[in-house]
A and B are shown apart, each in its own frame.
Chain A
Amino acid sequence: MTDESGLRKEYSVILRAFLESGNDRYLMDIETISKKCVRANIGPDYMLEAHLNTLNGLVSEYPIEKTVRMFNSASEPLIQLMMGYAVAYHEYIDMHEKRYEREKRLADELNDANNLQEMFISIMSHDIRSPLSGVVGYSSLIRMRSKDEKVVGFADKIEKTAMEIDQMIESMRTYSKVKKGFSDEDFEEFDLNEMLSEIFEFLEGKIKEHGTKLDIKYQTDRRYPVRGIEFIRNAYLNIIDNAIKYSPMNSTITITLDDIDIDSSPHWKFGVADNGEGIPDDMKEAVFERFVRNDKRGIKGSGIGLAITKHAVATHKGNVWIEDNPGGGSIFYITVPQA
C-alpha cells in the first residue's frame, strides 16, 4: 500500500512539473513510473485517478487561463503513462507465454523419459533373466556332479547370488508398475490378516536363518478387510523383510495391527518394530526415495523396496512412516483405510 500511495504521489509531482515546464524529460520519468507500477501490481485505473486528482488540484491553485493551457497538454503525460503500462504488460505476457511453452516442453520430455525408463526396465528384466537362468541351471549342474565339497559350496554361492539379481530385477519391475498407476477395476476386497500370514510363510526361510522371533500382537482369528490391489502386498512384505534384515540375529520383531480413526474414517494401522540400529531423523523420509539406503555393510537390496512401499501405500490412500522404537531400533507404520 505504501508503494501505491508513494507511486501516485511521485506521478503527481512529475505531472505538475511537466505541465509547468513542458520539459520532455518528465515524460521519461513517467515511463519509469508505469513500469514500477506494473512491478508493484498497481493497476492503471489507480494512476488514472491520481492523474485526475492532480489536475483538480491545479484548478484551485492557478488562474483559469493558466490551467486551460496546462490542461491542453495534460493528455500527453497520461498517454505516456498508459504507454509505459503497455510496454511492461506486453513484456510480462511474452515472458509468461514463453515460460508456459518451456514448462510444457519439459513435461513432455519428462513423460518421454518415464516411458523410456519403463521400456528399459522391461527390456532389462527380460534380457538379464534369460542368461541368469543359464547361470542358475549350470551352477546346480556343477553342484550335482561335483564331489568336492568346496566346489559345491561355490556353486551354492553362485546360485544364491543369481537369485538375488533376479529379485532385484523383480523389484524394479514392480516399482515401474506401481508408478504407472492403477484403475478402479484393479481394486478388490481382501483380508490383511490373511495376506500377512502369507507373507510370514513366504519369509519363513529368512526368519529361520536370522533366528528372528515374531511377536504378533493382533488377533489372528479375525478379518481385517481392505479394498486394494495385489501390489499392496509388496508394501508390507518390504518393511517386514527390512525389519528382519536390519535387526541383529535372534532378535524379536513385534507386529501390531490396530483399528484407528483418521479424520473420523476407520483405518488399519500396521506396525513393525525392530531392534536394529534405528534410522536417524534426517533419513526417516529419505529412505522412501529410490536408491537411498540406510547403508549397512553386508545387506543386500536394490534400494527400491521402500520406494515401492511408499507408492503402493499412496495408491491405497494410505500412509507410511517411521518412528523410533523406544527400546532401540525403528517402528515402521502403514495405515490404510478399512473396507
Chain B
Amino acid sequence: MGGIEETVPINDEYDIVTARSQGKSTAASIGFGLVDQTRISTAISELARNILRYADSGVVYIREVASEGATGVEIVAEDHGPGIADLELAMTNGHTTGGGLGAGLPGTKRLMDEFEIDTEVGRGTIVTARKWV
C-alpha cells in the first residue's frame, strides 16, 4: 500500500464535486484510462449522493490499493445515518422508486469490480468498492 489516500467529508452538494474530482485524479494517477476514470467518479458521485440523501453527512475515502501485483482504487463511503433496513430491496429498486432507500446502489455496483455493503439499522452504512487497473 502506501499510495494515495484522500479523505473527503460529505456535507453538501459541492463536496460531491470535490470527491468525484479527487477520485478522478487519483484514478488517473494510478493509471486508469478516461472511461474508467469516469466510471470511478460516477460511482463516487452515486455513493456520496446517497450519503447526503439518507444520512445528511458522511465521509468518502479514496485510496490506492495493491493486491497480488495488481493496483487499483478503493472507495469507502461511510455514514452514521439510519442504515439500510432491507438491503436486498436497496439493491433491486432502481430509479423508479424516485428516491427509495439505496437508490443508485445496483448501478454503482456494476461500475466497479468489487462491491461490499456493511450496514446496520441505527448505526450507519459503509460501502466499499474497488476497481483494478
Contact = CB atoms under 8 A, between A and B. Distances in A.
Interface in B76-94: 91-94
A24 B104 CA distance: 20
B123 interface: no
A39 B98 CA distance: 10
Interface residues on B, range: 20 to 34
Q: Is the interface of B mostly helix, strand, loop or mixed?
A: helix
Given A24-B24, A95-B93, A95-B94, A87 B17 contact: no
A147 interface: no
A28 B95 contact: no
A94 interface: yes
A27 B45 CA distance: 10
B35 to A, nearest CB: 6
Contacts of A25: 14, 17
B39 interface: yes
Interface in A177-197: none
Interface stretch (A72-80, A241-249, A313-321): A72-80
Name the residue among B91, B106, B108 with the largest chain A CB count within 10 angstroms: B106
Contact of B95 (A76, A80, A92): A92
A87 B108 contact: yes
Interface residues of A, number: 24
Given A24-B17, A79-B35, A90 B107 contact: yes
B38 A87 contact: no
B41 interface: yes
Interface string A304-320: 00000000000000000
Name the residue among A25, A35, A87 with the largest chain B CB count within 10 angstroms: A87
Nearest to B25: A24
A25 B41 CA distance: 11
Contacts of A87: 42, 46, 104, 107-108, 110-111
A31 interface: yes
Contacts of A98: 92
Given A35-B95, A95-B96, A98-B92, A83 B42 contact: yes
Name the residue among A23, A31, A88 with the largest chain B CB count within 10 angstroms: A31
Interface of B: 14, 16-17, 20-21, 24, 34-35, 38-39, 41-42, 45-46, 91-96, 104, 106-108, 110-111
Interface of A: 23-25, 27-28, 31, 35, 38-39, 75-76, 79-80, 83-84, 86-88, 90-92, 94-95, 98
